[in-house]
Amino acid sequence: MSHKCDFHFPLTTLSEEEQLFFATVRKFAQETIAPAVRTMDDEQRFAPGLVNKLFELGLMGIEIPESLGGAGGSFFDAVLAVEAIATVDPAVAVLVDVQNTLVANALQRWAREEQKAEWLSKLARGTVGAYALSEAGSGSDAFALTTSAEKVNLPHHQPREILPVDRHPCGGYRLNGRKLWISNAREAELFLVFATLDPAVGYRGITAFLVEKGMAGFSVGRKEDKMGIRASSTCELLFDNCVIPAANLLGEEGKGYKIAIETLNEGRIGIGAQMLGLAEGAWAHAAKYAKERRQFGKPIAEFQAVQFALAGMATEIESAKLMVYNAARLKDAGQSYVREAAMCKLFASNVAERVASNCVEIFGGNGFVRDYPAEKYYRDAKIGKIYEGSSNMQLMTIAKQVL
């Protein structure tokens, strides 16, 4: 059965421009991504040419200024794009999400002008980015990371001009360690890597670096064989005496924890959008199937139990949508959004899991087999409660904010 499905959710809180943008991305997802979903899931890779198409459409540099080759859009636009793509394939949505809400956002906020000129324009024009914080021993406790950075002298990397000491504090840095669970790793050419300059000072030693594919001592390791979002690559990264120039320091030494936290606060809204889109896609398939599937001489959509299930799901989706949109609007308005970001991720991932589970049940036996789209939504939904902070981590953030 096709992964393409008509979509009936009202877009009333969107401006006309935003509605058009959403509809355009949805159309692209329906026409280009839907036919490839099953194969991409089976083969655990994106369809050939798909990543390039995302770049051509401007979906990989949504907030990057037009002067640097980006689309010059808002954070809200990025969230809409992630939602629209996730209605069809949450695995493609996470590629777009990491690129926009984590990597490009971190650079927009923390990069120096020359780094922006180089890397934001590359990110807008064809370079995939990855965000590397987690390690085997540090997941929820992210700042317990052990990947180390050590200052080294690199005479050949000394800047030609005289720069303030805080911009080029030394010749470079040597990275050693291993990152785990890094999304986009197979496709990426730019990696935002968090490492510690001094484990003894705890989170205050954490520093952010820009590591480029092909740098000596850096390699992408094993790819995970996942339950869901299988087309998205999730790999380990290995640093074995990887020496990078000081120019690849992002922000200041010891400020990596701030970059990581602030970026993840935004990223969580993107995951909320991914889970929202997933729920909308699953709901649309369930509703269509319920109208077509006949038992006891009529479509199962005529049984009140099925109607109530679909009505309850639609209500939860509407709530998740308002929460995701509100958090994204707050972010664009420059207002505080930490509480709302955590709440929308927590809530939308619960909704996605429930809706996808109900969707499987409405499909009956067909919900349990791979020829129909229901089971994939169900497998994909689980990740919403795990990455960019588990549901417990969101509850901890919310508790801190509300108490």
Ligand X SMILES: Cc1cc2nc3c(=O)[nH]c(=O)nc-3n(C[C@H](O)[C@H](O)[C@H](O)COP(=O)(O)OP(=O)(O)OC[C@H]3O[C@@H](n4cnc5c(N)ncnc54)[C@H](O)[C@@H]3O)c2cc1C
C-alpha–C-alpha distance, residues 133 and 143, integer Å: 9
State yes or no: residue 133 binds ligand X (CB under 6 A): yes
CB–CB of 264/388 below 8 Å? yes
**Residues numbered 67-106 forming contacts with ligand X, rule: CB under 6 A:** 98
Candidates 60-68, 341-349, 366-374, 388-396: pick the segment binding ligand X (CB under 6 A): 388-396
Which residue sits closest to ligand X, CB atoms considered? 139
Pick between residue 29 and residue 95 the one whose CB is nearest to ligand X. 95
One residue of 183, 196, 233, 350 binding ligand X per CB under 6 A: 183
Pick between residue 208 and residue 301 the one whose CB is nearest to ligand X. 208
Pick between residue 238 and residue 386 the one whose CB is nearest to ligand X. 386
Residue 68 CB, nearest approach to ligand X (Å): 23
One residue of 2, 67, 392, 401 binding ligand X per CB under 6 A: 392
State yes or no: residue 234 binds ligand X (CB under 6 A): yes
Residue 229 CB, nearest approach to ligand X (Å): 6
Residue 23 CB, nearest approach to ligand X (Å): 29
List, as own/partner pairs, every contact residues 305-308 make where C-beta atoms lie below 8 angstroms and the sequence separation is at least 24, other chains included.
306/362
**Residues numbered 8-47 forming contacts with ligand X, rule: CB under 6 A:** none
Here's the x/- map for ligand X, 146-165, by CB under 6 A: it reads as --------------------
Candidates 44-52, 313-321, 338-346, 380-388: pick the segment binding ligand X (CB under 6 A): 380-388
Pick between residue 151 and residue 186 the one whose CB is nearest to ligand X. 186
- Residue 388 appears among annotated catalytic residues: yes
Candidates 6-14, 84-92, 132-140, 268-276: pick the segment binding ligand X (CB under 6 A): 132-140
State yes or no: residue 390 binds ligand X (CB under 6 A): yes
State yes or no: residue 372 binds ligand X (CB under 6 A): no
* Sign of the C-alpha dihedral computed for residues 184, 185, 188 and 193 taken in this order: positive
State yes or no: residue 320 binds ligand X (CB under 6 A): no
User: How many residues lie near ligand X (CB under 6 A)?
Assistant: 19
Residue 14 CB, nearest approach to ligand X (Å): 28
In sequence order, which residues have a C-beta less than 8 Å from that of residue 123 and are 6 or more positions away?
A: 60, 61, 64, 70, 99, 103, 104, 107, 129, 190
**Residues numbered 287-306 forming contacts with ligand X, rule: CB under 6 A:** none
Pick between residue 121 and residue 274 the one whose CB is nearest to ligand X. 274
Report the 3 state secondary structure along the chain. Answer: CCCCCCCCCCCCCCCHHHHHHHHHHHHHHHHHHHHHHHHHHHHCCCCCCHHHHHHHCCCCCCCCCHHHCCCCCCHHHHHHHHHHHHCCCHHHHHHHHHHHHHHHHHHHHHCCHHHHHHHHHHHHHCCCEEEECCECCECCCHHHCCCEEEEECCHHHCCCCCCCCCCCCCCEEEEEEEEEEEECCCCCCEEEEEEECCHHHHHHHEEEEEEECCCCCEEEEEECCCCCCCCCCEEEEEEEEEEEEHHHEECCCCCHHHHHHHHHHHHHHHHHHHHHHHHHHHHHHHHHHHHHCEECCEEHHHCHHHHHHHHHHHHHHHHHHHHHHHHHHHHHCCCCCHHHHHHHHHHHHHHHHHHHHHHHHHCHHHHHCCCCCHHHHHHHHHHHHCCCCCHHHHHHHHHHHHC
State yes or no: residue 218 binds ligand X (CB under 6 A): no
One residue of 131, 239, 289, 325 binding ligand X per CB under 6 A: 131
Pick between residue 133 and residue 317 the one whose CB is nearest to ligand X. 133
One residue of 73, 139, 367, 373 binding ligand X per CB under 6 A: 139
Residue 249 CB, nearest approach to ligand X (Å): 19
Interacting residues with ligand X (CB under 6 A): 98, 131-134, 139-140, 181-183, 226, 234, 383, 386-390, 392
- Looking at the annotation, which residues are catalytic? 388
